[in-house]
Chains A and B, each alone.
Chain A
Amino acid sequence: MPLSTEGGRVMSMNRREFIKIAGLSSILGIGGVTGVTALKNSVEASQVSKNPEALTAKRWAMVIDMSKFASEEDFQPCLEACHRAHNVPHITDNPKHEVKWIWPETYEHAFPGNEDEYRAEKYQHMPFLMLCNHCENPPCVRVCPTQATYKRKSDGIVMMDMHRCIGCRFCMAGCPYGARSFNYKNPRPYLDESKENPEFPTRMKGVVEKCTLCYERLAKGLEPACVEAAKEVAAKKGTTPGLIFGDLEDPDSEVRKILSERFTIRRKPELGTGPSVYYII
């Protein structure tokens, strides 16, 4: 911005130019300081570390042995354990708004496209447990515009960041397995206060939620709540647990052992999602 000149002599700046320069300096000054302080971290990366007791894996997977889930009393403890541990609301007044992280479906609904009217009755009525498949190639992660849902690099869990979710529900459209629920209203009135888990938050209206493979328990060295409940049921009945949990990329893990011995199926594998939940029928 040149200063006005006349006849070789430099005249003092006029008012308009002064205001322009003052305004620009203020914006740069205040903006610059704000930018620098905002970007500076409060917590240095050197101050944080993983819990040494945490359970780690390259790719978590679950095998569901349907022979262990004959009746409701076999799987109900798993559903309860999950929903209680995570304060999942029990919405009864409008089934359209239900929120569920793990639940049973019959064969024709769990594996649509595989229907056969001549399939044996006992298979048609089996209670297949449905949950997020924590896919290897998840379409929900692909579509999320804010990375509120993302695949954890360390262990392959498809996570939910409730703080970032804008509630656009693109992930719900993207999931081929119907694993996700949306909080159409405030979930808190639908929580039983006596059964609340004070160590885990609830969600608020307007965000999507689903099974997150008990990442908070894994961080403390505990297995997922449903797996633990299945172990308790098995101990009472004197059988082996119906939910087997482990690292798919560890050739010595329990899941790999079972997969090498038994035939398993996954839901909609032809879609290329690479689901990590296997079913032994």
Chain B
Amino acid sequence: MLEKAIYGGRRYWVWVCFLLSLIGVGFLAYLYQFQNGLGVTGMSRDVSWGLYIGQFTFLVGVAASGVMVVLPYYLHDYKKFGRLTILGEFLAIAAVIMCMLFIFVDLGQPLRVLNVILHPTLNSVMFYDMLVLSGYLFLNVLIGWTVLGAERKEVPPPKWVKPFIILSIAWAPSIHTVTAFLYAGIPGRHFWLTAILAARFLASAFAGGPALLIILAMIVRKYTKFDPGKEAIQTLGKIVTYCMLINVFFLGLELFTAFYSQIPGHMHAFQYLYAGLHGHSQLVPIMWLSSILAVIALALLIFPQIRKNESLLAVACAATFFSLWIDKGFGLVIGGFVPNPFEKITEYWPTLPEALITLAVWSIGFLVLTILYKIAVSVKEEVVFDKYGERQIKAE
């Protein structure tokens, strides 16, 4: 099936070459970082995690969001998602690969990464994160490839896939809970030390991931003969709406606890992010941008008449995605480190090499996504039947 990725039109190859060039530039930036150390990034003694770990955290959420499509279809026979599941599973694969790459580029001694496996540490959340991410990648590759392969041969998928699918449905929320546990058990970092951090992560994941999936589905529909389905996209839109509402609600809960209790340690990080603290306010504009985008997104999503308009839905999804990308992919990590344990402030902003490496990892993710989607779409463009005997694409 892999050979389907090497047959493509001009547009396909221009896109692939564009991604390859971004990857090339970023790779050179990574060599520069490997040679000179992580000092080429904007990180410091006080802010020891930055853009790389933020992006990792955000992308684990995107990967977990595959369950939002798989669960209704396989557990509740929601037939309308039949054409979306493979797109969700392949998005999960691309996202997990990006997660692993972001961890790798963030390590000070990346060549020693196997130490995590050679010296298993059962009390370390990071050890479990490695396990669950690897497991999730394996599951999605196995399931996606097998189901797609069966569709290509126009036979139902083999029975042994079903238990793996059920396992992946349970596994997906667990990968993001474990990622939340990286933060939520750290004493002394009051911004992260909240019981609802895992709940916030899941809510934002199930809003942001499907938002991206909707946009990808619309792109697939526009540029190929494969149509994931209007109703499927609408249902996904409802999921994004509710999860974004829950996510914003959870943020409100955090703000209440921090500011009604008036405890300085709880308030300081929020003050730094949204208002500035002791004259330091570098992150305030982008945090407010994230909030404004969230309001715009919800305004467009809450009203069914607006949500039914697919162009406006696309705008809402983009707003949701970028709002969450700023909040989780940046604000969350920096907020935990500012102010530092001495109540002093060191600010953080990514440097050019850091940005180029980040762009390269995203490009690798999009390249994997492009190749996998090309294969999936090529298989489905030929008439195929799903497990309910429904045609995947409308006959001409």
Which residues of A pack against B, CB within 8 Å?
94-99, 105, 108-110, 112-113, 139, 142-148, 164-170, 172-178, 181-186, 205-208, 268, 271-273
- Contact between chains at B188 and A112 (CB < 8 Å): no
- Contact between chains at A268 and B188 (CB < 8 Å): yes
- A residues within 8 A CB of B103? 168
Cα-based distance from A186 to B110 in the complex (angstroms): 15
- B residues within 8 A CB of A142? 123-124
- A residues within 8 A CB of B46? 96, 178
A105, A142, A164, A166, most chain B CB atoms within 10 A: A166
**Known: A108-B343, A176-B341, A186-B37. Contact between A205 and B108, CB under 8 A?**
yes
- Contact between chains at A167 and B108 (CB < 8 Å): yes
Contact with A along B31-62 (1 / 0, CB 8 A): 00000111100111110110000000000000
- Contact between chains at B119 and A185 (CB < 8 Å): no
**Known: A143-B125, A178-B340. Contact between A183 and B188, CB under 8 A?**
no
B115 to chain A, nearest CB (A): 4
Interface CB pairs A-B, < 8 A, 27: A96-B42, A109-B342, A139-B186, A146-B115, A166-B108, A166-B109, A166-B110, A166-B115, A166-B116, A167-B107, A167-B109, A168-B108, A168-B126, A169-B48, A170-B124, A173-B48, A173-B189, A176-B341, A184-B43, A185-B38, A205-B108, A206-B37, A206-B108, A207-B108, A271-B188, A272-B187, A273-B187
**Known: A145-B130, A148-B115, A178-B340. Contact between A139 and B187, CB under 8 A?**
yes
**Known: A147-B121, A185-B39. Contact between A166 and B113, CB under 8 A?**
yes
- B residues within 8 A CB of A185? 36-39
- A residues within 8 A CB of B37? 183-186, 205-206
> What is the chain A residue whose CB lies nearest that of B103?
A168
Extra 12 A-B pairs, beta carbons < 8 Å, given A186-B36, A205-B36? A112-B265, A112-B342, A147-B121, A165-B109, A166-B110, A166-B115, A173-B48, A175-B188, A178-B341, A184-B39, A186-B37, A206-B109
Cα-based distance from A166 to B125 in the complex (angstroms): 15
- A residues within 8 A CB of B48? 169, 172-173, 182
B264 is an interface residue with CB less than 8 A from chain A? yes
Cα-based distance from A105 to B49 in the complex (angstroms): 24
- B residues within 8 A CB of A170? 124, 126, 182
Cα-based distance from A176 to B189 in the complex (angstroms): 7
- Contact between chains at B124 and A112 (CB < 8 Å): no
- B residues within 8 A CB of A109? 342-344
- B residues within 8 A CB of A95? 44
- Contact between chains at A96 and B112 (CB < 8 Å): no
B67 to chain A, nearest CB (A): 26
- Contact between chains at B341 and A144 (CB < 8 Å): no
- Contact between chains at A184 and B109 (CB < 8 Å): no
A144 to chain B, nearest CB (A): 6
- A residues within 8 A CB of B127? 145
- A residues within 8 A CB of B336? 173
Cα-based distance from A249 to B156 in the complex (angstroms): 69
Contact with A along B245-273 (1 / 0, CB 8 A): 00000000000000000001100000000
Cα-based distance from A168 to B104 in the complex (angstroms): 9
- B residues within 8 A CB of A172? 48
- B residues within 8 A CB of A165? 108-109, 112
Contact of B44 among A97, A145, A146, A174 (CB under 8 A): A97
- Contact between chains at A175 and B341 (CB < 8 Å): yes
B134 to chain A, nearest CB (A): 14
> What is the chain B residue whose CB lies nearest that of A272?
B187
- Contact between chains at A146 and B116 (CB < 8 Å): yes
A191 to chain B, nearest CB (A): 15
B346 is an interface residue with CB less than 8 A from chain A? yes
> What is the chain B residue whose CB lies nearest that of A271?
B187
Contact of A182 among B38, B119, B344 (CB under 8 A): B38
> What is the chain A residue whose CB lies nearest that of B119?
A146
Cα-based distance from A148 to B110 in the complex (angstroms): 14
- A residues within 8 A CB of B39? 94, 97, 184-185, 205
Contact with A along B123-147 (1 / 0, CB 8 A): 1111100100000000000000000
Identify the 6 closest CB pairs spanning chains A and B, nearest first.
A167-B108, A176-B188, A206-B108, A96-B44, A184-B39, A205-B37
B343 to chain A, nearest CB (A): 4
- Contact between chains at A113 and B340 (CB < 8 Å): no
- Contact between chains at A173 and B49 (CB < 8 Å): yes
B327 is an interface residue with CB less than 8 A from chain A? no
> What is the chain A residue whose CB lies nearest that of B192?
A173
- Contact between chains at A169 and B187 (CB < 8 Å): no
- B residues within 8 A CB of A182? 38, 45, 48, 108
